[in-house]
Amino acid sequence: MRSLTGIKPTGDIHMGNLLGSVLPALALQEKYTAYYFIADYHALTTARDPDGVRRASREVAATFLAFGLDIEKNVLFRQSDVPVVCELAWILACQMGAGVIDRGHAVKAARDGGHDITAGTMFYPVLMAADILLYDSAIVPVGKDQKQHVEIARDIAVSINHHYGAGTLVVPEVSIQAEVGVVPGLDGRKMSKSYGNAIPIWSTSKQLRKTCMKIVTDSLGVDDAKDPDTDNVFNLYKLFATPEQREDLAARYRAGGLGYGHAKQELFEVIDALLADKRPIYEHWIAHPEELDALLAAGGERARATADARMDVVRRAVGLR
């Protein structure tokens, strides 16, 4: 059985990506054959800098490798190295109602963020459904906000199997880690590059500490008792800390005598400790882009073999070739 995860290469990869996508996806690699793709086609809905897309694509790949992706067992590739995904997206689009596309999360997020909505933005959930269905994905780990896209893929797979025969497409299941379903940003909203409230993963220790100190808090003083459950700093801290660390800091919040500056320092320390042995691996791959490109090209070959087999089934089912 296969799992699938994709990350869009736009801007610095951040802690929301790490907790909501990268780590949950990597946790599945022991149980499933995992396909990890860099969603560079998806990036074109907003990205206009070709060098930036290429650079960010390498950064996403290096992040997976730094956090322990087993490249022998699993597949890491660029979405654009398997162009038949666009062919499948067209076939899926011809089976979907226009209302489904208009209600898509990507369109809503673009509207809420005041961004231009292109035809590509509207087509986003169709291409994502094609990503999922092209590789016979049984499990798709996503953040809570992306659940809708997997549900769309499920619905279209069921519809196509009904019209063209059982087994034409594998119907996927969604996997969500409830405790990190939505990772809060510096201002308490969902962590997002578009909101400008993200904590980049690969900043230096000095930069990381400076970013942690920017987290928005209320005006309570050091001596005041505080509610950890409503605090932005603690809600981030609990995602990185051990259960013992969480309980200890929560007790100190409630007792008073703990300033937000101290809590931010502890958040910085627990994140920095997580990254300490991973930064050198990441930096190696970024310093050797030719090695990384070769690795991604090899992954693309493996992904194409899987994709071509599924597309042969779909083409025959719908009456092509």
pLDDT in tens, 178-200: 656 689 999 999 898 878 999 99
pTM for this one? Answer: 0.89
Q: Closest Cα to residue 14, out of 104, 143, 115, 125?
A: 143
- CA dihedral in degrees (110, 114, 119, 124; nearest 10)? -10
Confidence of residue 141 (pLDDT cuts 50, 70, 90): confident
User: How many residues are given for the chain?
Assistant: 321
**Tokens found for residue 117:** 């909505």
Mean pLDDT of 18-28: 88
What pLDDT sits at residue 178? 64
Q: Tens digit of pLDDT for each residue in 145-165?
A: 778 889 999 999 999 999 999
Q: Is the pLDDT of residue 250 over 70?
A: yes
What pLDDT sits at residue 179? 59
Residue pair 302/75 in contact (Cβ under 8 Å)? The answer is: yes
What pLDDT sits at residue 180? 62
Residue pair 192/163 in contact (Cβ under 8 Å)? The answer is: no
Mean confidence (pLDDT) of the chain: 92
Confidence of residue 122 (pLDDT cuts 50, 70, 90): confident
Q: Tens digit of pLDDT for each residue in 29-75?
A: 989 999 999 999 999 988 899 999 999 999 999 999 999 999 999 99
Backbone φ, ψ for residue 203 (5° rounding): -75, 165
What pLDDT sits at residue 193? 81
Q: Closest Cα to residue 186, out of 8, 23, 16?
A: 16
The Cα 183–Cα 175 span in angstroms is 16
Q: In terms of pLDDT, which residue wins out, 285 or 108?
A: 285
What pLDDT sits at residue 117? 82
**Tokens found for residue 111:** 């509207």
Domains of the chain, first to last: 2-183+288-318 (3.40.50.620), 205-275 (1.10.240.10)
What pLDDT sits at residue 175? 84
Residue pair 200/211 in contact (Cβ under 8 Å)? The answer is: yes
Query: Residue 22: left if φ>0, alpha if ψ -120 to 50, beta else—which one?
Result: alpha
What pLDDT sits at residue 132? 96
Give the least confident one: 57-66, 129-138, 169-178, 210-219.
Answer: 169-178
Residue pair 236/208 in contact (Cβ under 8 Å)? The answer is: no
Q: Is the pLDDT of residue 115 over 80?
A: no
Residue 317 half-sphere exposure toward CB, CA atoms < 13 A = 21
Confidence of residue 177 (pLDDT cuts 50, 70, 90): low
Provide the greatest CA pair distance for the chain. Answer: 74
Q: In terms of pLDDT, which residue wins out, 167 or 181?
A: 167
The Cα 234–Cα 19 span in angstroms is 15
